[in-house]
Amino acid sequence: MNVSILGCGYVGLVTGVCLAELGHTIIGVDVDKNKIESINNGHPPLYEDKLPELLLKNLKNKKFIATIDLKSALSSSEFVFVCVGTPQLDSGETNLDFINSAFTSLSEELKTRKIPLTIVIKSTVPPGTNDLMLSLLEKKSGKKEGVDFHLLSNPEFLREGKAIYDFFNPDKIVIGARNKNASERLKNLYSGLPGKIIETDPKTAEMIKYANNAFLATKISFSNEIGNICKKLDIDSYNVMDAIGLDQRIGRAFLDSGIGFGGSCFPKDVKSLIYTSKKLKYEPKLLEQVVELNEKQPLKIIELLKKSLPNLKGRTIGVLGLAFKPDTDDIREAPSIKIVDALLKEGSKIVVYDPKAMDNFKKLYPQIKYVTVEEVIRSEAVLILTEWKEFESFNYKGKIVVAGRRIKKAREAKIYEGVCW
C-alpha cells in the first residue's frame, strides 16, 4: 500500500522504514529540510540500531523516500500516519501545536481530494484528541468521516534502542477506530506481524498508551523507593528485585533501581496523565509520587559522591554516560542533565564521555569537556549514569566510582558506591 508518514523523528522514521521493509511504498514528510536531506542521503538524523542499513536498502529499492512536500506525498497515498512531536508544557499539559498544525494541513488537502484517505494518529496524544481532530477535519474540510476519510488511533510502543526489533515483534498492536472497515484496513497494513491486535475505540486506544507508560514508570519509581530503603539497610536492591521479579504477577522487567527514568516519553506522558486527571477533578496521588520520586532520584548520586569528596568545588568529576538509556543518542529528560547541573552549581570541573550522545549534550552544555574514556577514568571521581555495555570493559582499579546504573566491573574500584546497592 502507499503510505505517507508525517513527522520523520524517532517514531516516524522507524515506522516508515519498517513499513517499507514489509513491502509498502512510503513517503516520509517533515517540515525540517535538513532532516529530509540527510534521510534521502541515507543518514538517519538519530542513532538507532539497524536503522541506517534498512534506510539505505529501502531508499535504493525505491520503497522509501522523504520530502517536505505534503501535497505531492498525499496525492499518491491511501494512508497517512501522523507522527509529529507532542511535547509538554510547563503545566504538564500536552502541547498539541504540532498536531493541530498537521491536521490543519490535512484538512486543506482533504478539501480537494477525490479518493478516500485513512489518517492514523501514532503520536502520543491525550484521550479525546482523536475526537477533537475529527471535528477539526470535518469542520475545516467540509468532508465526512466514513465517507471521505477515516481517522484512527494507533499508539506506538517502541523502545528507543530496540525500535526496529520492536516494530517486527510487537507484544500488541492497538487500533482505535470508529468502524470495523477502517480497523480492517489498518490490520491489513500490518499483516505478517506477530502480536495481539487490540481493536477498540480511539479514546480507549489513546488511554492504553498513557496507562502503559504510567505503569512502567511506576514500576521504576517503586524499585527506586525500595532501592533507597535497601541502601540505608546496606542491602543490594538488585538481589531483592531479582527475587520478587520471579513472581509471575510482578515480572523482573523495569525493576532496576538507579537514578530514575528519563527519555522523551515516560516523564511527559505521566505528567500529561496527571494534568488530564486533575482537569477532571481527580487527584492522581500515586502518579504524582511517581514523578516526585523520579525528580529527586538523580541527585542521590551527588549525596553519595560527597561521602568521598565533601567539597566538590574545583574537583574534576568524570561522567560516564549521558543518554537516558543505552543504545540511543537521546538525552531528552535524561538524569545526566540534573546531575551535570548539580555539579556545575557545586563548581566542579566536569569531563564526560558517551558513545553516542555527546553531540546532543554539547548543544545543551558547550561549557563542559567532552573527552575520551581514558580521560574520564583519570578524573578524581567517576559517576556512571548510563549502563552502556562497553563500560563493562574499562579498568576502574584504584578509582572512586559512584554508580547510578549497574556496571559490574566498576565494583573493582578502590571506593565503590551504588545508588541503591
Which of 41, 101, 179, 311: binder of ligand NAD (CB under 6 A)? 101
Nearest distance in Å: CB 121, ligand NAD: 9
Q: Which range, of 4-12, 57-65, 108-116, 371-379, touches ligand NAD by CB under 6 A?
A: 4-12
Exposed, middle or buried: residue 342 (CB in 10 Å: 0-12, 13-18, 19+)? Answer: middle
From 95-103, 199-207, 248-256, 412-420, span contacting ligand NAD (CB under 6 A): 95-103
Q: φ and ψ at 410, to 5 degrees?
A: -65, -15
Which residue's beta carbon is nearest to the bound ligand NAD?
Answer: 9
Binding residue (CB under 6 A) for ligand NAD from 8, 207, 339, 400: 8
**Minimum gap (Å) between residue 3 Cβ and ligand NAD:** 14
Cell of 359: 553531540
Task: Exactly one of 8, 18, 83, 265 is catalytic; name it.
Answer: 265
- Per-position x/- string for 48-87, each x denoting binding to ligand NAD as judged by CB under 6 A, each - no binding: -----------------------------------xxxx-
- Binding string, 17-46, against ligand NAD, x = CB under 6 A? ------------xxxx--x-----------
Task: Find the part of the chain contacting ligand NAD (CB under 6 A) among 5-13, 214-222, 241-249, 380-388.
Answer: 5-13
Distance in Å, CB of 99 to ligand NAD, minimum: 8
CB-wise, 103 or 238, nearer to ligand NAD? 103
CB nearer ligand NAD, residue 12 or residue 170:
12
Burial 397-419, CB ≥16 within 10 A → b, else e: eebbbbbbbbbeebeebeeebbb
Per CB under 6 A, the segment of 156-164, 184-192, 297-305, 386-394 that binds ligand NAD is 156-164
The x, y and z cell numbers of residue 119, run together, are 489518517
| 265 given a catalytic annotation | yes
**Long-range contacts formed by 282-291: CB under 8 A, 24+ apart:** 286/218, 287/214, 287/218, 289/221, 290/214, 290/217, 290/218, 290/221, 291/217, 291/267
Residue of the chain from 160, 206, 327, 354 that contacts ligand NAD (CB under 6 A)? 160
Helices 129-141 & 202-232, crossing angle to 10 degrees?
150
Total site size for ligand NAD, rule CB under 6 A: 26
Of 103 and 370, the one with the shorter C-beta distance to ligand NAD is: 103
Sign of CA dihedral 283, 287, 291, 297: positive
Which residues, numbered 213-242, are part of the site for ligand NAD (CB under 6 A)? none
* Residues at the site binding ligand NAD, with contacts judged by CB under 6 A: 6-12, 29-32, 35, 83-86, 98, 101-102, 123-124, 156, 158, 160, 264-265
Q: Which residues are catalytic?
A: 265
